[in-house]
Amino acid sequence: MKRLLSLLMLVSLMACGERADWKGWVYPNRDDLTSDVPLGRFTSLEECRATATEALFALKALQGDYECGFKCKLRPELGLSVCERTEK
């Protein structure tokens, strides 16, 4: 868990000052998408994918999944973020 937190802090610092249009989420159990771990903001899809893969490994979430969203906006009335597009 400490490794995951360190990784997330590093990614957040790297994104400072750059346009971060990607957001990432990890789902420790791919069959339960109501339980997610937000990964933060990224400047590229590749950066989001790499961080998500490392986070799944750090969480030992062998049955987990992830999602990267482009230009996401929080929709409080829905209780979630809506993205222009999502990728894996």
Contact partners, residue 85, CB within 8 Å, separation at least 6: 69, 70, 71
pLDDT of 1 higher than 50: yes
pLDDT at res. 15: 46
Q: Has this prediction a pTM greater than 0.95?
A: no
pLDDT one-digit tens code per residue, 3-57: 655 555 555 544 444 588 999 999 999 999 999 999 999 999 999 999 999 999 9
pLDDT at res. 62: 87
Q: What are phi and psi of 48, to 5 degrees?
A: -65, -45
